[in-house]
Amino acid sequence: MTLRLIQIVTQEGERRVLAGQDDGSARAINGVTSTYELARKAIAAKKSLDAQVAVQGLGEEVDVALALSEGRVLAPIDHPDAAHLHVTGTGLTHLGSAEGRDKMHKAAAAAETQTDSMRMFLMGVKDGKPEAGKVGAQPEWFYKGNGTQLVGPGAELQSPAFAEDGGEEPEMAGIYVIGDDGAPYRIGYALANEFSDHVTEKQNYLWLAHSKLRPASLGVEILTGELPKDVRGTSRIWRGNEVIWEKPFISGEDNMSHTFANLEHHHFKYDLFRQPGDVHVHCFGTATASFADGVQTKDGDVFEITAAPYAYGLRNPLITRAEEKVAVNVL
């Protein structure tokens, strides 16, 4: 059974976790106020999420569309202590994803020399889908931040004053909770905008780490179970009432050079990422970005990402934060 897990705040200011249905309806899950709490209960009881929801029972029906219009839909996962939520990702994982990246970095290398990006992409093509029980090629990996960097539908994607660009990356994100036994448990997959600074990255590939230290947004719902092998969606940028850029994007293992299992292995092989109680949001990469088409985003632009089988799209406006002066104090 596939659940659609949604987190909202009621009009009275109380948190609820909803079980969404394919027809767009949703009902509150009794006895829990967060997806995290629900997952922890399921792990402790050694039950699947749908079995745990059956134990909890369902309450009143909730109008998700109304909650969205009123700005009451939260990111579908969070942690009581934001420092214990990790936002990370892998890149060059999708067939075709090397093209845009390679364009960005070719100027820094001789025409006859393969870039690091292309070499890593080809490693994934060759050995990113290993046989069962075997370990495949390592992907590119990056860190985006902790739970303070994660925002929900409709929330602003805030670009720091020193950024040179703020661009969207439409992707699938895996959502995980680490059990008390130190094992990762996947809750499911969410639609994500892995927002990045592509101009900074373009100048020097070693600045990729800097370019990724930006917020990310998650869509309305987490879909439990396995993601379809072929996911197709659309990424748009709105400027006022005009769509200034639009392009289809694809995901799912049929369109990837790595399996999800291989990407998960290379993240959770580090015991650092298997600390009991922690939450992980891991973005799995994309082959589509407006920056590769020469788009320069501006404050007020709205990123929109839609994809089946998700019932709701993801929209986030771009703003630039005021400059902050930071001084180191000597103790």
Beta strands in the chain (DSSP E): 4-9, 15-20, 26-29, 58-61, 85-91, 140-146, 150-151, 157-159, 170-178, 184-193, 216-223, 231-239, 242-251, 279-283, 302-308, 314-320
Q: Average pLDDT in the 133-144 region?
A: 94
Residue 146, pLDDT above cutoff 70: yes
Q: Which of 78-92, 108-122, 210-224, 297-311 has the lowest mean pLDDT?
A: 108-122
Strands 85-91 and 58-61: unpaired
In this structure, what token pair is assigned to residue 329? Answer: 């104090």
How far, in Å, CA of 142 to CA of 240, rounded? 33
Res 205: pLDDT: 86
Which strands form 302-308's sheet, in the order they lie side by side?
157-159, 314-320, 302-308, 231-239, 242-251
Residue 109, pLDDT above cutoff 80: no
Res 101: pLDDT: 52
How far, in Å, CA of 232 to CA of 60, rounded? 33
Q: What is the DSSP string of 209-258?
A: HHHT-S-EEEEEEEEPSPPPS-EEEEEEEEETTEEEEEEEEEESGGGBSS
Res 174: pLDDT: 98
Torsion, Cα 160 286 258 87, to 10 degrees, reads: 30
Place of tokens 């990702």: 89
Instruction: Report phi then psi at 101, rounded to 5.
Output: -65, -40
In whole numbers, what is the pLDDT of the chain averaged over residues? 93
Q: Which of 9-13, 23-27, 168-172, 191-195 has the lowest mean pLDDT?
A: 23-27
Place of tokens 């050079």: 257
Structure confidence by residue, pLDDT tens digits, 9-61: 999 999 999 999 888 889 999 999 999 999 999 999 999 999 999 999 999 99
Which positions ≥6 away from 236 have C-beta within 8 Å? 243, 245, 246, 303, 304, 305
How far, in Å, CA of 19 to CA of 178, rounded? 22
pLDDT band at 108 (very low <50, low <70, confident <90, very high): very low
Q: Give me the long-range contacts of 97-101 (CB less than 8 A, separation at least 24).
A: 97/121, 97/257, 97/285, 97/286, 97/287, 98/122, 99/287, 99/292, 100/287, 100/288, 100/289, 100/291, 100/292
Q: Average pLDDT in the 221-249 region?
A: 97
